[in-house]
Structure 1
Amino acid sequence: MNTTVAATSLQEARATFDAVFAEFAEGAGERDLSHENPIDLVRALTDAGFGRLRVPVELGGFGVDLPTLFELLAQAGEADSNVPQILRGHFTTVEILRHTEDQETAAYWLRKVAAGAVLGNAQSELNGAPFETTTKVESVDGQHLVSGTKFYSTGSLYADYIRVAVADDKGNRRFSVVPARHPGVAHLDDWDGIGQRLTGSGTTVFDRVPVEDHGELGRYKEDLRSLNSFVQLVHLANLTGIARSLVAETAAVVQGRSRTSLHALSDKATQDPDVLGVVGRLYAHRFTADAVLRKVSEALESAETADTPEAFAQAYIETSAAQVALIDIVLEAANLAFHAGGSSTARERAHLDRHWRNARTLASHNPVIYKPRVIGDYVINGTGPVNGYDRGRASAAADN
């Protein structure tokens, strides 16, 4: 972990971000084929200050607003859509720390993030009931130790610390922070999804791993209603980045073609009206994604300012509507791109297939099939969306 961050201003940091994004983009397709984890590039990005974007200024961060954060995540997703996914758990934890009632713990960890620390996530387990965890934290000779197995532990392979969902000996659920490089932590990197292959989203095994100082994060405030929308917006920013990349990469394919099809109206691909129409439709999808992302990120920022249950409910409904819309248009764009270059676009060296696979994988998180009903129930009956905290609390109460 780098303990000093060179950039002293957001403007300076953004120039470095752009340079690292360019490096990500240059090798994204080949890394996907060879399964080369971009560990050094992720570290270069976080060393430049990317991880401290939402850390308050007084604690050493840049203190950016939500629209700025999600725009930068979209830029990261355009370069390599693994990046926002890798850092999703990091930014989620920062958001929780910004709202926690334990100000001492929050300040401790936010200062570490400002110094370059990266936080990973290990929350879900395979084959378990919702909100259930078999991973335990136990007290041995006055020290808290974590043992268990997690899957979907996205970003932990790249992290300095991991926020782990655990249960104590009384069955109470909480989050404990442990060192990611401790000998008792095994990163198996066995994620076998069709997309987002380099996110370190597979199994992590913990064997009596000590909890860090200030490592018992407990619960965040009951009125943190923004978190459900926040975690979904990371995916929407990533999908927007994919839409942008599809325009750029498809345009490059067309510009590099030396021939067209039998029925083409031009001998040059760059003058073929049907091919130009494909690229035009891709641009329209990108334009829509950009506008929707900006709209919902501004809505969540407004809800944070209003700080009322009604405002957060409205922001969640708008985020859900954006999820329904963006998934459809980005998947359509990822399919449409193949029309611009004939069979050559299906070759592995074109790397266009990764955009559909990555978008399809992102679309499978927080399943979109439920969102139209949630939206409709709100519009017709005024029924507010269920908050993740409330759902988890109800589950814990039922178990006890």
Structure 2
Amino acid sequence: MTTRPDTLDAALIRFRSIFGELAKGAGERDLSGEHPYELVQELADAGFGKLRVPREYGGFDVDLPTLFALLAEAGQADANVPQIWRGHFTTTEILRLETDSEVRGYWLTTVAGGAVFGNAQSEPADRVAGLDSGGGWGTITTRVRRSDAGERVVSGTKFYSTGSRFADYIRAAVVDGDGHREFVVLPARHQGVEHVDDWDGVGQRQTGSGTTIFTDVPVESNGEIGRYTESLRGLDSFVQIVHLANLVGIARSVLAETIDIVRNRTRTSRHALTQDAVADPDVLSVVGTLYSRALTAETLLGHAARRLDEAHATGDEAVYSDAYIQASAAQVAVIDAVLAASSDAFNAGGSSTARRRAHLDRHWRNARTLASHNPVIYKPRVIGDYYVSGNAPVSGYYADRPSAANAADQSERVQL
């Protein structure tokens, strides 16, 4: 068995070696539909999942700019990888802010030991027809109840359950008998969990983002997490910035592959000023534009990550609101830059780059799929409303969530 790295520096060497292996087969996996199970597990074994776990629990405790920079590296290797890990790192963020010290310590120690979390939050609209899917959670029909034996069990169907096929545990959004929503932790490999590989998106095809069916799956010990708003601060921004990191990775990969295409091109066009592709000013202009768009995306990623880190440092709700706005503004510009880059790259290579074996099309498909999450069309209005009228963005994750202080106050009233 391979020894796990003890230091971040040693882990980084392992991560980057695995990224290299992921990059080698990314294009072929996109065509074949093969999932990178073994390489994702290798990342877990190398300590990738404990990047944000505090040192007191055995983690590397990196800051957010470092985490997102590494996710961008992973996205450059294979754009499916950051998406696979998105649910895991989102859960780690919830646990870092968890108000229950026993729950926080139990799960962060478990993650530091190598456990990987998947996500099962959203449900498909066609299964909840006629119901409004508001907020950050969407409509939830998956329920938690007491079994005849007295244990809490979960039954229901999820979609967009990204990463769950690769995971040891699943963070699932459920409702109880009173209709209150909560997150619970479920064992990913329990006999009552069925992973259906039916994700049919045009991109991000190897993320396992299909259906997960739960049938009387028991909630884990210490399995109620993120019960209070304090545990969910900044979560909207965090999940969006993961996508931005992935888009940055795609932009880098587009640039690198286009440069290789130009260097290996043996002809240009009869309209070209030269038949030497590496000296063709129009082709070189395409590459220069791709670099500018990648740089734009990288710069905005760093800006959004630093602002969310500042919000965590202050704990100020106004700073969290501003971090959301900065992430939203970055989302608008990064999506525009990366979609344009992944389309314009074809201009540098001619018709041969449109062939399936060139794999260049996967970048646009992956970027387009990522851009469809957390719809960007609403963000300019939210940003404008914030700056013109001072209206702070509303977090969907806060719905039905009391603050820890309010919960404690209510508990004292009940006791009185």
- TM-score w.r.t. length of structure 2: 0.92
Tell me, yes or no, if structure 1 residue 230 matches structure 2 residue 238: yes
Q: Find the counterpart in structure 1 of residue 38 from structure 2.
A: 40
Q: Output the amino acid matched with 2:93.
A: E
Q: Find the counterpart in structure 2 of residue 80 from structure 1.
A: 78
Tell me, yes or no, if structure 1 residue 67 matches structure 2 residue 75: no
What is the number of equivalent residue pairs in this alignment? 392
Q: Matched residues in 2 for 1:202 and 1:369: separation?
A: 25
Structure 1 residues 9 and 324, CA gap change in structure 2 (3 angstroms): same
| CA deviation after TM superposition for structure 1 residue 223, in Å | 7.0
Q: Matched residues in 2 for 1:382 and 1:224: separation?
A: 22
Q: Find the counterpart in structure 2 of residue 103 from structure 1.
A: 101
| CA deviation after TM superposition for structure 1 residue 393, in Å | 5.0
SS at structure 1 position matched to 2:186: strand
Tell me, yes or no, if structure 1 residue 274 matches structure 2 residue 282: yes
Q: Find the counterpart in structure 1 of residue 363 from structure 2.
A: 355
Q: Matched residues in 2 for 1:371 and 1:178: separation?
A: 33
Structure 1 residues 310 and 195, CA gap change in structure 2 (3 angstroms): same
Tell me, yes or no, if structure 1 residue 175 matches structure 2 residue 200: no
**Would you say the 8 A contact 2:98–2:231 is kept in 1?**
no
Where in structure 2 are the equivalents of 1:66-145 lying within 5 Å? 66-127=64-125, 128=128, 129-130=132-133, 131-140=138-147, 141-145=149-153
Q: Find the counterpart in structure 2 of residue 255 from structure 1.
A: 263
More off after superposition, 133-142 vs 94-103: 133-142
| CA deviation after TM superposition for structure 1 residue 303, in Å | 1.4
| CA deviation after TM superposition for structure 1 residue 325, in Å | 0.3
1:89-148 deviations in whole A, cap 9, x for unaligned? Answer: 100000000001111011111111101100001011112332421111121212111111
| CA deviation after TM superposition for structure 1 residue 5, in Å | 6.1
Structure 1: state its 5+ residue gaps: 395-400
Q: Find the counterpart in structure 2 of residue 198 from structure 1.
A: 206
Tell me, yes or no, if structure 1 residue 58 matches structure 2 residue 65: no
Structure 1 residues 95 and 5, CA gap change in structure 2 (3 angstroms): farther
SS at structure 1 position matched to 2:99: coil
Structure 1 residues 15 and 187, CA gap change in structure 2 (3 angstroms): same
Q: Matched residues in 2 for 1:41 and 1:133: separation?
A: 33
Q: Find the counterpart in structure 2 of residue 15 from structure 1.
A: 13
Q: Matched residues in 1 for 2:313 and 2:140: separation?
A: 34
| CA deviation after TM superposition for structure 1 residue 253, in Å | 1.1
Q: Find the counterpart in structure 1 of residue 414 from structure 2.
A: none
Q: Find the counterpart in structure 1 of residue 250 from structure 2.
A: 242
**Would you say the 8 A contact 2:120–2:160 is kept in 1?**
yes
Tell me, yes or no, if structure 1 residue 336 matches structure 2 residue 336: no
| CA deviation after TM superposition for structure 1 residue 216, in Å | 2.0
| CA deviation after TM superposition for structure 1 residue 308, in Å | 0.6
Tell me, yes or no, if structure 1 residue 149 matches structure 2 residue 186: no
Structure 2: state its 5+ residue gaps: 403-416
**Would you say the 8 A contact 2:95–2:231 is kept in 1?**
no
Q: CA RMSD in A?
A: 1.4
Q: Find the counterpart in structure 1 of residue 166 from structure 2.
A: 158
Structure 1 residues 153 and 223, CA gap change in structure 2 (3 angstroms): closer
More off after superposition, 300-309 vs 129-138: 129-138
1:257-311 deviations in whole A, cap 9, x for unaligned? Answer: 1111111112221111111110111011111111111111111111111211111
- TM-score w.r.t. length of structure 1: 0.95
Q: Matched residues in 1 for 2:124 and 2:108: separation?
A: 31
Q: Find the counterpart in structure 2 of residue 219 from structure 1.
A: 227
Percent pairwise identity:
62
SS at structure 2 position matched to 1:87: helix
Q: Output the amino acid matched with 1:134.
A: T
Structure 1 residues 298 and 218, CA gap change in structure 2 (3 angstroms): closer
| CA deviation after TM superposition for structure 1 residue 366, in Å | 0.5
Q: Matched residues in 2 for 1:218 and 1:138: separation?
A: 19
1:295-341 deviations in whole A, cap 9, x for unaligned? Answer: 11111111111211111111111110000000001000001000000
Structure 1 residues 62 and 5, CA gap change in structure 2 (3 angstroms): farther
Q: Output the amino acid matched with 1:71.
A: A
| CA deviation after TM superposition for structure 1 residue 389, in Å | 3.0
**Would you say the 8 A contact 2:331–2:376 is kept in 1?**
yes
